[in-house]
């Protein structure tokens, strides 16, 4: 079974009410359909960082996000992951202002997870940063995860979204 590290934006997209912005609502719908079978199709992982981020904000929404994490194993965050995150920021693969985003990438790479699934296009699933992220991971002895969205991982099309 392929391994997947779920970054916090995916959990946030699964939980909660549909967003009024049609693009965000479409991503929520797509992610929720992907989520229905994800536990059966992939070996899913999160980290304590994901849990901590899910706890932020409104307490009711936080509880809903935590319910989605039930039963998903947590990857450890050893010092080596923090070192890799520092290298990612030092080499401008991730901005210094976003240490948590760098740490998500580092956790997935350190543990050899195949896919890091995210909706964070700014600092993680960013095509202009991807080659630098990959190079920094490899220079530090880690194979980088394939960074993608739930839509990319599932290979979903408009037809797949329309069918129930």
The token pair at 73 is 């194993």
Q: Does domain 2-156 have CATH number 3.20.20.140?
A: no
User: Quick one: which of 108, 115, 127 has its CA closest to 153?
Assistant: 115
This prediction has a pTM of 0.92
| pLDDT confidence band for 45 (50 / 70 / 90) | very high
Question: Where along the chain do its domains lie?
Answer: 2-156
* pLDDT score recorded for residue 52: 97
| pLDDT confidence band for 162 (50 / 70 / 90) | low
* pLDDT score recorded for residue 160: 45
How distant is the alpha carbon of residue 47 from its chain centre?
A: 10
Burial 105-128, CB ≥16 within 10 A → b, else e: bbbbbbbebbbbbbbbeebbbbee
pLDDT in tens, 80-112: 999 999 999 999 999 999 999 999 999 999 999
Mean pLDDT of 138-164: 78
pLDDT greater than 50 at residue 54: yes
**55, 66 Cβ separation under 8 angstroms:** yes
pLDDT, mean over the chain? 93
């Amino acid at each position: 079974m392929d391994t997947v590290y779920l970054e916090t934006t995916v959990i946030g997209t699964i939980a909660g009410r549909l967003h009024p912005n049609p693009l965000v609502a479409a991503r929520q719908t797509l992610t929720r359909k992907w989520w229905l079978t994800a536990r059966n199709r992939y070996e899913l992982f999160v980290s304590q960082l994901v849990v901590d981020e899910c706890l932020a904000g409104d307490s009711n929404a936080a509880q809903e996000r935590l319910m989605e994490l039930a039963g998903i194993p947590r990857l450890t965050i050893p010092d080596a992951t923090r070192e890799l995150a520092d290298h990612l920021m030092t080499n401008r693969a991730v901005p210094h202002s976003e240490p948590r985003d760098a740490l998500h990438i580092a956790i997935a790479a350190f543990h050899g997870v195949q896919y890091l699934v995210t909706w964070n296009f700014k600092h993680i699933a960013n095509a202009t940063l991807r080659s630098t992220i990959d190079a920094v991971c490899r220079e530090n002895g880690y194979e980088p995860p394939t960074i993608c969205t739930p839509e990319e991982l599932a290979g979903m099309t408009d037809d797949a979204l329309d069918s129930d």
